[in-house]
Amino acid sequence: MSEKNMGIPPANLNGISRPGRGGAVVKPKNMKGTLARLWQITEGKRRGLGRILLLSALASAASILSPYVTGKAVTAISDNDPLTVTLICLSALYLTDWLVKFLQAFFMASIGQRIIHHIRTVLFGHIKTLPLSFFDRRSHGELMSRLTNDVDNISTTVSNSLTLLLTYGFTVVGVFVMMLCLNPFLTLVALSGSALIFLLTKTITKRTKKLFSKQQKSLGALNGQVEESVSGLSVVKAFCREEKTEKEFEEKNESLCKVSIDALICSGYLMPLMNVINNVLYVAVSVLSGILFVNGNIKDIGLITGFLLYVRQFTRPFVEIANIYNNFQTAVAGAERVFEILDAASEPPDKADAITMERPKGDIEFQNVGFSYEPDRPVLKDISVKIPAGTKTAIVGATGSGKTTVINLLTRFYDVSSGSILLDGHDLRDYRMEDLRKAFGTVLQDTALFADSVRANIAYGRPNADIEEIKAAAETAGADGFIERLPYGYDTVLELGGAELSQGERQLLTIARAVLADAPILILDEATSSVDTVTEQKIRRAMLKLCANRTSVIIAHRLSTVRDSDLIILLENGNIAERGTHNELMKLNGTYAEMYRTQTEIMG
């Protein structure tokens, strides 16, 4: 779903960090606070970070000392002194540098993945506790992005950027100190070049940041266009909109191309200019050091060699540090997005004296129930109704009348805003949440199947059920016929989460799941709304078997499926407009009767 764990690449050819697909750096809102919280949440998982800090210092020390020893070697050659000790020291430094960097990567692989494993576990564990209202306000794609992309940004930073940032930081400071010790005047000259590079980088990145931000927006628009066109291709063809769609694509593609070219050209200025400045600086230091040597201000030719190597070493890390810091900011911004989820309130906990539910009878009563998803926009208004145990109640009404909200309140996906809902004489909020949810068997319009075997999908509510019980449930639901025709029967894996089955077959599997769960209260939410009439009859027969001797609450658009209900409730604008049996409501000759006759004429 994302480009993950690619590691930190070598120096960006253009000298500009572009996290993600050409996007601008995402800056955190509170860098210090987020880092402090990351440190806190990873407590106990950071074993070995002290070793990484020490190894970074050793890697920097090896890099810092090697030019100095090289200078000593040049001095020894000019003075005809033996080189054995100097060469041994130089070889030891290079070997140490290799070994230290290997150990850095070795230890950091374990530490980084251990930290990220812990963050993922904490995040996913918290997501499971969040109320349904949290998911209603956010797209699933966004939540997936936080669980994968944002956590992977943190992973990349911890595993790679952190060690490089430490190493480069130590190197810049160490090299600066060594340059000051060798010759303060030449150090000032080198600093002037570094300051120029810093100003140049800041100026160009300020411009490219805006361009890459535009590029990211253009890319998003193009991706949206492609997604809509591909997913809705049948509609495009049906309305002969191919040319119009192609023209829109070309416009967005052209816009992306133009802004991408501008961004790349602008960012392309930096590296060549930096090379020019570095080369001019190198020449200037070489000429000045030569003059100082000729004038006798510098007497050691090896000092000049070492200093020139330091000049090269001093300017190189600055752009690297800028790149790494940009990635670091993006990772911290990702951490903030992760913490937004962790800060979201979980479902209310069970009361200290919560009632343990053994097996409810199924008496349900709504007492003056009111509910709204948003303040001042009530969805249900003063609903009062009794549903006796063992009866079948249907809730009907136009789209948006509040039917599904009733189901959400019964299962406590939401709590009532006013009034109360009683189950066997007790408020739903008085029961243990786990016991309450197990009391309901639910079949929804949106069939939720998982990338697992048919057997496992049916046994989702009772994972320990044996195959005979699973087959009996499938037979009751009328699903055994098509299951036996699958390549491996009950062991067939639904690799696409059920997308390879028809809508009716998926619905029959969810009914079989509810049969096996054997819950005392049954909820059927639009279970036949998306199937043909033949499949509807199969599902209806399965529902009749399922509803026998159970309290059943059925939501339906097709009124023919609820004619035999003990009670039919018609909701209009959040109120109970009509209630009674089918015959009573037909005699009333109100909204229900009109809806039924309209549907009958259409079906007829």
* Within-domain flag for 175: yes
The helix/strand/coil state of 195 is: helix
Shared-domain flag, residues 303 and 388: no
Q: Which of 232, 253, 251, 231 is nearest to 241 (CA)?
A: 232
Tokens of 46: 């950071």
pLDDT band of residue 371 (cuts 50, 70, 90) is very high
Q: Is 567's pLDDT higher than 90?
A: yes
Out of 8-12, 87-91, 131-135, 396-400, least confident range: 8-12
Q: Is 602's pLDDT higher than 80?
A: no
pLDDT band of residue 16 (cuts 50, 70, 90) is very low
Give pLDDT, residue 555: 87
Give pLDDT, residue 536: 67
Give pLDDT, residue 529: 59
* Within-domain flag for 461: no
Tokens of 320: 């690297």
**Across the chain, what does the average pLDDT equal?**
81
Percent of the chain with pLDDT over 90: 13
* Within-domain flag for 2: no
Give pLDDT, residue 240: 81
Q: How many domains does the chain have?
A: 2
Q: What angle do CA 538, 541, 547 make, to 5 degrees?
A: 135
Shared-domain flag, residues 335 and 354: no
Shared-domain flag, residues 50 and 125: yes
Shared-domain flag, residues 312 and 400: no
Q: Strand (E) positions, 388-463?
A: 392-397, 418-423, 426-427, 440-443
Q: Which domain holds residue 600?
A: 350-438+555-604
* Highest-confidence segment of 327-341, 352-366, 570-584: 570-584
Tokens of 372: 């709204």
Out of 94-98, 197-201, 461-465, 505-509, least confident range: 197-201
Q: Is 484's pLDDT higher than 70?
A: yes
* pLDDT tens readout for residues 211-267: 776 776 787 678 777 877 877 777 788 778 888 888 888 988 898 898 888 877 877
* Within-domain flag for 305: yes
* Highest-confidence segment of 9-18, 129-138, 177-186: 177-186
Shared-domain flag, residues 37 and 156: yes
- Domain boundary, last residue among 280, 311, 342: 342
CATH code of the domain in which 157 resides:
1.20.1560.10
* Highest-confidence segment of 164-173, 331-340, 455-464: 455-464
Q: At what angle do helices 49-78 and 162-182 cross, to 10 degrees?
A: 30
Q: Give the Cα separation of 283 and 193 in Å (integer).
A: 11
* Within-domain flag for 394: yes
Give pLDDT, residue 109: 77
The dihedrals phi and psi of 373, each to the nearest 5 degrees, come to: -75, -35
Q: Is 407's pLDDT higher than 90?
A: no
- Domain boundary, last residue among 272, 307, 342: 342
Give pLDDT, residue 2: 39
Q: Give the Cα separation of 59 and 174 in Å (integer).
A: 11
Instruction: Give the side-chain half-sphere CA count within 13 A for 138.
Output: 18
Q: Per-residue pLDDT averaged across 403-412, rounded? A: 88
pLDDT band of residue 144 (cuts 50, 70, 90) is confident
Q: Is 531's pLDDT higher than 70?
A: no
More confident residue, 216 or 554: 554
Q: How far is CA 400 from CA 118, 132, 443, in A?
A: 42, 18, 20
* Highest-confidence segment of 48-52, 271-275, 328-332, 372-376: 372-376
Q: Which of 205, 199, 186 is nearest to 281 (CA)?
A: 186
Report residue 272 CA to chain centroid gap: 38
Give pLDDT, residue 212: 72
* pLDDT tens readout for residues 32-75: 787 788 888 877 777 777 787 888 888 888 888 888 888 888 87
* Within-domain flag for 166: yes
Give pLDDT, residue 347: 83
* pLDDT tens readout for residues 251-303: 888 988 988 888 778 777 777 777 787 788 888 888 888 888 888 888 788 88
Shared-domain flag, residues 54 and 177: yes
Out of 110-124, 201-215, 284-298, least confident range: 201-215
* Within-domain flag for 173: yes
Shared-domain flag, residues 57 and 139: yes
The dihedrals phi and psi of 438, each to the nearest 5 degrees, come to: -70, -20
Shared-domain flag, residues 84 and 147: yes
Q: Give the Cα separation of 385 and 383 in Å (integer).
A: 7
- Domain boundary, last residue among 313, 342, 371: 342
For 44-67, b/e burial (b = at least 16 CB within 10 A) is eeeeebeebeebbbbbbbbbbbbb
Q: Is 485's pLDDT higher than 70?
A: yes
Give pLDDT, residue 319: 66
The dihedrals phi and psi of 448, each to the nearest 5 degrees, come to: -100, 100
Out of 144-148, 153-157, 323-327, least confident range: 323-327
Give pLDDT, residue 74: 82
More confident residue, 191 or 456: 456
More confident residue, 367 or 54: 367
User: Is-contact 534 542, C-beta < 8 A?
Assistant: no
Q: Which of 445, 571, 557, 420 is nearest to 511 (CA)?
A: 445
Give pLDDT, residue 461: 85
Write down the pTM of the prediction. 0.65
Shared-domain flag, residues 334 and 354: no
Instruction: Mark out the alpha helices in 128-241 (DSSP H runs).
Output: 132-136, 140-145, 151-156, 162-182, 184-231, 233-238
Q: How far is CA 471 from CA 445, 476, 479, in A?
A: 23, 9, 9
* Within-domain flag for 387: yes
Q: How far is CA 519 from CA 118, 431, 436, 442, 545, in A?
A: 36, 16, 10, 9, 13
Q: Which of 322, 22, 24, 324 is nearest to 202 (CA)?
A: 322
Shared-domain flag, residues 175 and 69: yes
Shared-domain flag, residues 432 and 368: yes
Q: Is 21's pLDDT higher than 90?
A: no
Shared-domain flag, residues 363 and 398: yes
Contacts of 12 (CB under 8 A, 6+ apart): 18, 319, 323
Phi-psi region of 547 (alpha: psi -120 to 50; beta: other; left: phi over 0): alpha
Tokens of 150: 């944002």
Q: Is 10's pLDDT higher than 50?
A: no
CATH code of the domain in which 394 resides:
3.40.50.300
Q: Is 120's pLDDT higher than 50?
A: yes
Q: Give the Cα separation of 350 and 357 in Å (integer).
A: 13
User: Is-contact 383 366, C-beta < 8 A?
Assistant: yes
Give pLDDT, residue 141: 63
